Structure 1
Amino acid sequence: MSKKANVRYREIQRPRTLLLWVPMLAVALLMWYAFIQQVFFGNKVGTNPASNGTLIVLWVVFGIIFPVVFLGLLKLVTEVRDDGLYIRYVPFHIHYKVFLFSEITSYKPITYSPLKRFGGWGIRFNLQNEIAYNMSGNSGMEIQFQQHTIVIGTRRPDELKKAIDAAYQEK
Structure 2
Amino acid sequence: MKAKDNTVYREVQRPRQLWAWAPILVCTGIMWYWFIVQIIYGVPFGNNPASDGFTIVFWVIFGVIFPVVILGFLKLTTEVHNDGIYIRLSPFHFRYRQFLFKDIYEYKSITYSPIKQFGGFGIRINMKGETAYNMNGKKGIELKLKYETVVIGTQNPDEFKDALDVVCNKKQRESTTEGGT
Alignment TM-score, normalising by the size of structure 1: 0.95
Runs of 5+ unmatched residues, structure 2: 172-181
Report the alpha carbon displacement of residue 5 of structure 1 after superposing the two structures with TM. Answer: 5.8
Aligned-pair identity (%): 55
Name the larger-Rg structure. Answer: 2
Q: Which residue of 1 aligns with 2:35?
A: 35
Distance 1:39 1:100 in 2: 53
Partners of 1:111 and 1:14 in 2: CA distance: 19
Matched, 1:14 2:14: yes
Residues in 2 aligned to 1:4 and 1:20: alpha-carbon distance in whole angstroms = 38
Hey, what does 1:145 align to over in structure 2? Answer: 145
Is 50-59 or 131-140 further displaced after alignment? 50-59
Structure 1 portions without partners, runs of 5+: none
- Residues paired across the two proteins, number: 170
Q: TM-score, normalised by structure 2?
A: 0.90
Cα 1:14–1:159 shift into 2, 3 Å: same
Q: How does 1:12-161 map to 2 (within 5 A)?
A: 12-161=12-161
Q: Could you tell which deviates more after superposition, 49-58 or 114-123? A: 49-58
Give the Cα–Cα distance (whole angstroms) in 2 for the partners of residues 73 and 3 of structure 1.
Answer: 24
Q: Per-residue displacement from partner, 1:19-64 (whole Å, max 9, x unpaired)?
A: 1112211211110111011012111112222221221121111101
Give the match's secondary structure for 1:3: coil
Deviations 1:80-126 (A, max 9, x none): 00000000100011111110000001011111111111110001111
- Residue 3 of structure 1 deviates from its aligned partner by 2.6
After the TM superposition, which parts of structure 1 deviate over 3 Å for at least 4 consecutive aligned residues? none
Distance 1:57 1:9, change over 3 A: same
